[in-house]
Amino acid sequence: MRKDAVQNRERLLRAARQLFADRGLDVPLDEIARVAGVSIGTLYNRFPTRDALVEAVFADRRATVADLAERALAADDAWDGFAGFLTGVCELQAADLGYNDLAARTAPVDGDRGPALMIEIVERAQRAGTLRGDVTLTDLAFVIWGVAATIAATRQTAPGAWRRHLALMLDGLRAGAARPLPGPPMSAGQAGAALRDC
């Protein structure tokens, strides 16, 4: 790319990061272009769809989640790794409304290395006997979704309320608290459709 094209792309990414973090993913694209100091046509030349812009803005967050997962797998205690991973993801969500929106709308299935690492975290804690054996990755998608909704609802009035919500859910995920669940887990396709429709 030419130097001016690279600069425009960086301006767009900076503006989108800030606006998404402050207001969520539904910020109008023309406002992102205006804050970046470029035309809407320039935005569409660099990012033909909103999804392409979102993917570029949050690529670093996906890498951070993968790093959190690798740290969780390296933890001496499988439960501490599992709980620390979920807490770290939720901290990212609480710090950035855009990422919170993305986490709430995306089921952790197929794709980058994050979901595969999450499966390892879950299976490790289950093998250790600390995480209930019937928990699936799609179940965890709804833990993340629940925390995302709490973050969005309490951000202005009680910004740390999500930590209490997560602690309650973590206690329910412990093997010692397990009781038979009332039905089978959702399939990855069902979970993905449900989250996209939120």
Nearest to 68 by CA among 48, 51, 93, 102: 93
Instruction: List, for residues 143-177, the tens digit of each pLDDT value.
Output: 999 999 999 999 899 999 999 999 999 999 999 88
Nearest to 103 by CA among 70, 150, 136: 150
pLDDT of residue 51: 92
pLDDT of residue 112: 61
pLDDT class of 109 with cuts at 50, 70, 90: very low
Nearest to 151 by CA among 32, 49, 24, 44: 24
More confident residue, 151 or 193: 151
Q: Which domains does the chain have, with CATH numbers?
A: 3-57 (1.10.10.60), 59-196 (1.10.357)
Residue 72's identity, in one-letter code, is A
Query: What is the CB neighbour count within 10 angstroms for residue 164?
Result: 12
Instruction: List, for residues 16-50, the tens digit of each pLDDT value.
Output: 999 999 999 999 999 999 999 999 999 999 999 99
Rg (the chain; Cα; Å): 18
pLDDT of residue 198: 57
Two tokens, residue 105: 């709308």
The residue written with tokens 């986490």 in the block is 103
Say if residue 97's pLDDT is above 50.
Answer: yes
Round the average pLDDT of the chain to a whole number and report it.
90
Roughly what angle, to the nearest 10 degrees, separates helices 50-57 and 59-74? 40
